[in-house]
Copies of this chain bind each other. A is one copy, B any other.
Amino acid sequence: MATIKDVAREAQVSIATVSRVFNGAGIVREETARRIRDVAASLRYAPHGGARSLITRRTSTLGVLLPDLYGEFFSELIRGIDETARHAGYHILVSRSWEGRREVEEAMRAMRGRVDGVVLMSPHVNADSLLNVPVTLPVVLLCSPATGPGTDSVNVQNCRGARDMMEHLLSLGHHRIAIVKGASGNYDAAERLRGYRLALRDAGITPERSLECRGDFSEAGGYAAALTLIESKHRPTAIFAANDSMAIGVLSALREAGLRVPEDIAVGGFDDIPLARYMDPPLTSVRVPISELGARAVGTLLEAIARKTHHTRQRSRVSTELVIRRSTGAPYAERPPPLRH
């Protein structure tokens, strides 16, 4: 590959002049500039990003550390992140970091000198503690428990969203409402559970442990949970799954058991993934503006990078919206999608 030196030699100028042409900085006589560009083109020269960032101390790249890459949630998230990043002239370096604290640390140090900042989603680790450990880099926490101050973070209004769903179910006359919980140790899961309990208390109902089913955010987990609930002596009249994947599993289990939704039992989910409205019956869910979540995180990160040390930490929460469809049997449930974009 041709380097700046090759171009300089060929065009009979110093490398400084070549550099100036490619950076728009400094002044170069038009004739010289043209000659340099021609030579560069004929040599197929392109500036070496790595070398450039070594000296400028900026990589124009953002690291994105995610716990997983599976499913629509992450697809949307990455889209939101990329969109915002690219508008600001940044690339994104995606990495899937497994759950453990060790791996996250490892991933963080691998980012050193490759990125200008990191969006970190690590719902299983108390991410705050991570920040003391490896590299010093601007970091924004996404959907992660961040206790202390000192850290930027973006979260979903899980608790509020869960309460909205519960209030909806309660308003339809349900008293025995079960929840299929999210993965244990997961921050979002814990918050949604908290919302569930709060809503019950507010309605004067004492939460029952037998109605709190363990789950893991997977379809299979929802399926299994539903089976348990169906067989329980005092069957619930509604099931709130802590995410849509599990709700889908629940629907399958109910159908196989010959139970009608919503007539025999109502079902609600969380996230409102695109699939939700296509279920049979269409699934009532709590919409999370996923791509906005990513966009917000990047926005915060960019600010942190720009402001360097002088930067007041921000923690924001994106709000959710209850989307009512047939699976909860509300009279005003959403009609089938119109589809004319």
Contact = CB atoms under 8 A, between A and B. Distances in A.
Nearest to A78: B69
A205 interface: no
B48 A93 contact: no
B91 A96 contact: no
Contacts of A54: 48, 50-51, 54
Nearest to A73: B75
A113 interface: yes
Interface stretch (A146-154, A179-187, A271-279): A271-279
24 contacts: A1-B112, A1-B135, A1-B136, A44-B133, A44-B134, A46-B112, A46-B135, A48-B54, A49-B112, A50-B114, A51-B54, A69-B82, A70-B79, A72-B75, A74-B75, A78-B78, A92-B93, A92-B94, A93-B94, A220-B340, A223-B339, A252-B336, A275-B275, A280-B280
Interface of A: 1, 44, 46-54, 59, 61, 69-72, 74-75, 78-79, 82, 86, 91-96, 109-114, 133-136, 218-220, 223, 248-249, 252-253, 255-256, 274-275, 278-280, 336-337, 339-341
A111 B96 CA distance: 21
B256 A47 contact: no
Contact of A112 (B47, B109, B336): B47
A336 B274 contact: no
